[in-house]
Structure 1
Amino acid sequence: MTVVDARAPASPPTPEECEHPAPVRGVMAHEFATYQGAMGPEGKRRTVTHYGPVLGGLPIEAWHCELCGLLRLTFPDGRVEERRLFPGPQPGLLAVPSAYDPDAVGYGMQARVSGLSAPAELMAALLPPPAPAGPNVIERVAAALPPLGAVTWATVILLAATCIGLLLAGYLAVYDYQTSSVEGPLVIAVGCCFAAAVGVQILSVVQRHYFPMPPLRPSVAVTMRERPRLDPATRIMVALMGLVATGLLLAGILAVYTYSTPAAEHPLVIGIIVCFGAAMVVKIVDATTRHFLR
């Protein structure tokens, strides 16, 4: 009898004798069935009540000692209950508080709740308030052209004109039963645009091969980050050449806008010649003065 008693497993301690060395903490994560119309701390219960970490459920804080089987429950209304379970681990009994049901996410199960929301303190811990939104700033989308060379831009423009001309030529060829009289000149213009694009590329290749040009140094306005400083002679010449360009434009318009040349054409041409000559004289005198005063 003594040997049999020695080999018998020791009975677990009672909750009063146990020191609870490593209790498990969390919230209740199980569901239980109650009868229809049962009254609980949250009011009239449904047929199935879910006590768990689901948002909208009834979070019951639980403390479980796996050595003696003591389970302490703390309800949201302040009540505290103690129950005695079988000693040993109870998988699935407790869970970590969270704002969603892991079973609903992993297995598509619909959470069944008791209808009582979580306390404000627990909700603040599970779902922290969002950061205050800043002022609405509308970002301006800046359209920047790619840094292409003059030859590439000319080719792009000519090919775009070719595509538009082909579209118009196709439309004019089929929109009526007879071909329009504009079709011939339009096709010729399209062919000229395409030939010009090809010619620009060929001339660019020839120029780069036989007449290579080193890259130009950046201007003073780019290197110094300021407006260029022009001497008085250069400013006078720029102003006179601007008058010359404007006068040439007006003279061209007066020469062709009617069948007879107006009387203002003659003095306008004389003024253009005078401005151009004055610009040349100013630049020659400035260059001569700088040469002899060095």
Structure 2
Amino acid sequence: MPALHGVRCIGEVTDLHQNSTALYFTLTDGDAELPCMLWANRYRNMDIELEDGTEVILEGDIDYWVEGGKIDLKPWEIIVVGDGDQAAAVERLHAELDDRGWFDEDHKQSPPRFPDRVGVVTSLRGDARDDIQNAIHNQDPTVDILVKDATVQGPDAPTSLANGIHHLDRSEDVDAIIVGRGGGSDSNLQAFNTERVSEAIFTANTPVVTAIGHTADRLIGDHVADVAAITPTAPGEYVAESHEEFISSTLDPLSQELDTAFETFEQAHEHEKELEQAVETATELEGMAPIYYKIALVILVLLLLVITALWLGVI
């Protein structure tokens, strides 16, 4: 039996995903969240299409599990109201910042290949900090990392994240800034869809890399950032290059060029030797010509003497 029967709720669909048997999403209204589960066959019979940001009215049963203290709503009726306020606000901001040119490639900066210090804006209480540090040190263990603690979700998150970016940007010895957090529902990631965070990223003189654990559409902060990594484990390759990989990528082409140059030199040397041999042969033949001439002359004189003797009847 459900804990509550015939409950009617209104809110916005977020974190929508499904498999072959059921559809899962979170109904949000401000900071309030309610997990929902809808059987796939019932969803097909409803003749509606849900997506993140859709505002809906749900009617259904709420189940409660004592173990873990979890609840969810299983709706049997869904009325689509339209686009939710949150989704509409994000769409408007995206269009506005795009018009301002904040997403243009002309404004993008390239992080240095071999930074001395990298600044990180994230929560000290999450796994993202360790993931980011490990990702950087896997590339270059000598990089110094300066972490600025920040709130990454909730109403205080936009200001906290923006302040962290500004603080690190004012540090003259920070070569790149990573702003990141672990994964979460769409509602938990909304701080990165705000103008305050986007402005802090855009106005930073230091290259900024976003590293947010999500697999859905990119957030506004990702579009503004100089580089957008998919997860907190990915930004290391963008802000620090492995010394071994650099040496290999630099020396391998040089080695190939040297091999090619040596082969060309060998071919030229062989050709030069062939020319020298040809010259020596020609010189030898030229030196032998007077000898042949003298022998021929002697033979000719002898023949004349023989002919003269025969004519005189001596022989």
Alignment TM class, shorter chain as reference: under 0.3
Could you tell me the TM-score, scaled by structure 2's length? 0.18
Q: RCO (CA 8 Å, sep 6+): is it higher in 1 or 2? A: 2
As a proportion of its length, which structure holds more strand? 2
Could you tell me the TM-score, scaled by structure 1's length? 0.19
Q: Which structure would you say has the larger Rg?
A: 1
